[in-house]
Structure 1
Amino acid sequence: MAGKIVVLDVREMLKKKEEPFQKIMVTVGELEEEDVFELHATFKPDPLIRVLGKQGFSSAVVEEGPEHFIVQFYKEETDIPYFHLDNRELDPPAPMVRTLEFLDGHEACQSGELGVEIWNVRVPALLLPELEERNYTFDVSDEGSGTVRVKIRRPR
């Protein structure tokens, strides 16, 4: 079953020249197996990506703006990185709108370099034909207990 997305924003710490590594590692140590760790930083943290990679974490990176990088770390090996969106708390049509805005807003998704995995409470019946029309492929997995995982990507 899909876990939760654990968010840690260290941008203010970095701007104050503080070292966030200890706080990051404590957060990582508290993750459950299915959780996704989402780090917000002022730069792409390549050394951290390598350190956590050696601990079995895959990662996905998006640049949201100047000095705002979002890196997600998760325990699943995939051929391309997948950015996770937890839509389970949103009411329709927000899950579909959020998913399409993310796909449209990131060149890496459009080029097939980055996939998106959404967590919904039900199969997104209206989203799936829209994805097909936009030339995305998807894999739907209903895990029960109110979690449907949909992996979305555009073939390269």
Structure 2
Amino acid sequence: MTRRLVELDVRPMLQAREEPFARIMEAVQGLKGNDVLQLHATFLPEPLIRVMSRQGLSHCAVQMSPEHFIVDFYRDDSKRPYKHLDNRGLEPPQPMTRTLECLEGISELQNGDIGLEIWNDRVPAFLLPELDETGWVYEIYEEDDIVRVRIDR
């Protein structure tokens, strides 16, 4: 099963005082299976989070700067919020570097409020000892076309 990270940046629409709801719902309708909609907004869209929750989507929100929020919407039974990072198609050491930068740079991950799910082409053999050494715990899920690693505090 192919997994996709569908990015939608509505910040320009919001800054132009346009309504992005129809565009967001169009992106949601295009999601299949375990796809993730990664929404970039200028604020935490709490009403949208409630709408998505009623549609069975979990979410994970991270504030990157005062006017940049990233909200991942996805289907997941665990009810644990996860930020998603798609490392597929990258050459080493980019997947490891991106993952470590994400783990260090997002306070919600450092505090254990959310987890990180990375999508890789293969098991990240050099990353795992680094995670062990720095106190992160992880689970590896090997599927047909993807290796998912869930990383938590």
The corresponding residue for 2:4 is 4
Shift of 1:33: 1.4
The corresponding residue for 1:93 is 93
The corresponding residue for 1:122 is 122
The corresponding residue for 1:132 is 132
The corresponding residue for 2:49 is 49
The corresponding residue for 2:84 is 84
The corresponding residue for 1:63 is 63
Q: Does 1:102 align with 2:117?
A: no
Aligned partners of 1:39 and 1:70 also within 8 Å: yes
Amino acid at match of 1:37: L
- Residue 95 of structure 1 aligns to a residue whose secondary structure is helix
Instruction: From the superposition, tell whether residues 44 and 110 of structure 1 become closer, same or farther in structure 2 (CA, over 3 Å).
Output: same
Moved more, 72-81 or 11-20: 72-81
RMSD: 1.0
Distance 1:88 1:111 in 2: 27
Shift of 1:25: 0.6
Distance 2:110 2:2 in 1: 25
Distance 1:107 1:133 in 2: 19
Aligned partners of 1:109 and 1:153 also within 8 Å: yes
The corresponding residue for 1:153 is 152
- Residue 44 of structure 1 aligns to a residue whose secondary structure is coil
Distance 1:72 1:79 in 2: 13
Aligned partners of 1:40 and 1:68 also within 8 Å: yes
CA deviations over 1:58-92 (Å, ceiling 9, x no partner): 00111111211010000003242101111011100
Aligned partners of 1:118 and 1:150 also within 8 Å: yes
Distance 2:56 2:93 in 1: 35
Tell me the number of residue pairs that the alignment of Structure 1 and Structure 2 aligns: 153
Distance 1:54 1:90 in 2: 35
Aligned partners of 1:123 and 1:148 also within 8 Å: yes
Q: TM-score, normalised by structure 2?
A: 0.96
Shift of 1:2: 5.1
Structure 1 runs (4+) greater than 4 angstroms displaced: none
Aligned partners of 1:37 and 1:74 also within 8 Å: yes
